Amino acid sequence: MIVHLPLIVFLLVNVVSTDAALFSRGSDSIFGVARHARRHISKRSTGLWDDMRLAYTGMFQQKPQILQSKPYCTHSSDTGLSSTGTGTGTGDVDGTSSSMNATSATSAAAHGSSSRTTSGSSSSATNAAPTVSSSASASVAGTGTASSSASTSISSQPSSPWKVAQAYQGSSFFDGWVFTNEADIWTSGIAQYVDQATAQSAGLIEINSAGNAVMRVETTPTVSGNRKSIRITSQFTYTGGLIILDAVHMPTGCGTWPAFWSDGPNWPAGGEIDIVEGLNDYTNNQVTVHTNPGCTIASSDPNVLGMTGSFVTSTDCGVTATSNTGCGIRASQTNSYGAAFNSVGGGVYAALWDESGWKVWFFARSSIPSDITNGVPLPSGWGTPMANFVSTSCNAFQFFYQHSAVFDTTLCGQWGDGVWASDNSPGQAQTCAQRTGVASCEDFVRGNGAAFSEAYWEVKSVKIYQSS
């Protein structure tokens, strides 16, 4: 065995003060001493072992240094400056969920302080993060030098200025909504809205096996008063934005009056737009606006307005001059509402609220634009809207502000009663009086619970976007 004298001297200098006793152990080999000394020395100085390695290259094996390539992905949430709310919103893009916290506020519509009005006539994300892939390789030469190479590819996605500010979907869909717990005093309907606990115990709400939110009307065979139903109002509020509803099924049948709408405080001061609304057996949706006096639409010509729908009421949207009916536009699509909507698997409604006014689009399930599906909505590519309430004579931020989203299904009411026996709207081949053989809407609703088996909402998601 060859012993390197310089190394022994080096070790003694560094360990004699505290570890000299090591050499008194006859059974310890000099290499054991060296190993112990190595541990001791490394505690004293992070650079000492490197000094020893460089000085005594032949005694110790050199560790290869491997350079690693590590991909980093950052995500930032961009919520609109004019939105408030409670709870957590989640946005799904191709099955990947991202969440963001909304700021806290109390909605003025906690118990439906805003009004639902008679709207008809007798004739309703989140940016997808780029996918990053990285591959790295390293080779080590005998001298310890290393080389590395990495490649990164980013999948291209269309960019959108619209970012998810609040989303309702999946098992947490009902988080962040206020359940109205009183009778329908707004439309004189015979719906009894119930709180969340009552709704759950009565089987009126659920998240089904598909992960969709379901809101039903009570189907008890007969009731003496009002029939139980659901009305919910988002705690999240917004001024301007893009509201996208993805629904599989909506309530339909004689006696039903469902709606999905956007509503401001102090009705009608904050304005209201009914994005989805209709009655009975209708097949064509009606989009209606209700405002303070002074909001009018400059033309009733669809070609001038750039829309596919047509006015069925006045172009004056003020509730005073129109006895609360506002200005309504009926869709041309015959599968945009009711049983026809349900038969095609539903679809998407998108309402854009910006300086130009309000625009509403409908896309049946098979024709939903990929940018909506991917969570990067680009309204400029959606073609002609169903409804277009231009702001030229109705300022979109004077007559509308601080909105909440609302779902409800009322029964009968002013509109439903008014057309029960005289209605020729699309889809209504017979009046409900003729089809049911019952003279009044209220009598039919109270005495025919089984007729409301199709009176339910099934909703995949509601997403409210704000521009960045």
355 belongs to the catalytic site: no
Task: Say yes or no: 42 and 122 in one domain.
Answer: no
118 shares a domain with 32: no
Map residue 238 onto helix, strand or coil: strand
The alpha-helical segments, DSSP class H, found in 162-317 are: 196-201, 302-305
* DSSP letters spanning 285-344: -EEEEEBSTT-B-S---HHHHT-S-EESS-SB-BTTTTTT--EEEE-S-TTSSHHHHHHT
- C-alpha 3/C-alpha 92 separation (Å) is 69
**Residue 346 covered by a domain:** yes
The pLDDT of residue 204 is 98
User: Checking phi first, is residue 298 left (phi over 0); if not, alpha (psi -120 to 50) or beta?
Assistant: alpha
CA dist., res. 303 & res. 309, Å (int): 10
Do 405 and 376 contact (CB within 8 A), yes or no? no
77 in any annotated domain = no
- Residue 348 contacts residue 363 (beta carbons within 8 Å): yes
* Residue 220 covered by a domain: yes
Which residues does 175 contact at the CB level (< 8 Å), separation at least 6?
87, 88, 168
The answer, as to whether pTM is greater than 0.85, is no
pLDDT at 44: 39
**In a shared domain, residues 306 and 229:** yes
φ, ψ of residue 265 to 5 degrees: the values are -80, 165
Residue 381, in any domain of the structure: yes
The reply to whether 22 and 123 lie within a common domain is: no
Task: Please report, to the nearest 10 degrees, the dihedral formed by the alpha carbons of residues 81, 84, 87, 91 taken in order.
Answer: -40
The answer to the question of residue 68 being in a domain is no
**Active-site choice (182, 206, 218, 272):** 272
Query: Distance between CA atoms of 295 and 279, rounded to whole angstroms?
Result: 26
Cis amide prior to 158 (ω within 30 degrees): no
* 329 and 181 fall within a common domain: yes
> Which residues does 25 contact at the CB level (< 8 Å), separation at least 6?
none
412 near 441, Cβ under 8 Å? yes
In a domain, 135, yes or no: no
174 and 110 both lie in a single domain: yes
Residues 31 and 97 in one domain: no
The confidence score (pLDDT) of residue 115 equals: 55
Note the helical H segments in 132-215.
196-201
CA distances for 102 relative to 16, 84, 406, 464, angstroms: 65, 6, 18, 11
pLDDT in tens, 310-336: 999 999 999 999 999 999 999 999 999
Contact 241, 80 (CB under 8 A): yes
Whether the Cβ atoms of residue 371 and residue 361 lie closer than 8 Å to each other: no
**What pLDDT sits at residue 468?**
79
In the residue annotation, 442 being an active-site residue is answered as no
In a shared domain, residues 225 and 112: yes
DSSP state of 214: E
Q: Has residue 377 been placed in a domain?
A: yes
Query: Which pLDDT value is given to residue 206?
Result: 98
What are the tens digits of pLDDT across the range 365-386?
999 999 999 999 999 999 999 9
Of the candidates 182, 8, 87, 45, the residue with the CA atom closest to the CA atom of residue 462:
87
CA distance 112 to 182: 9
pLDDT under 50 in the chain at which residues? Answer: 1-82, 86-114, 118-154
Domain with residue 380: its CATH number is: 2.60.120.200
Catalytic annotation, pick one of 182, 206, 277, 454: 277
Q: Give the whole-angstrom CA distance, residue 451 versus residue 164.
A: 38
Q: Look at residue 67 and tell me if it is in a domain.
A: no
Domain coverage including residue 407: 83-128+158-467
| Residue 64 DSSP symbol | P
d(CA 277, CA 250): 10
CB 251 within 8 A of CB 455: yes
Residues 196 and 242 in one domain: yes
Pair (44, 186) in one structural domain: no
Number of domains in the chain: 2
Give burial (CB, 10 Å; 0-12/13-18/19+) of 26: exposed
Claim to verify: residue 101 and residue 18 sit in the same structural domain:
no
115 and 47 inside one domain: no
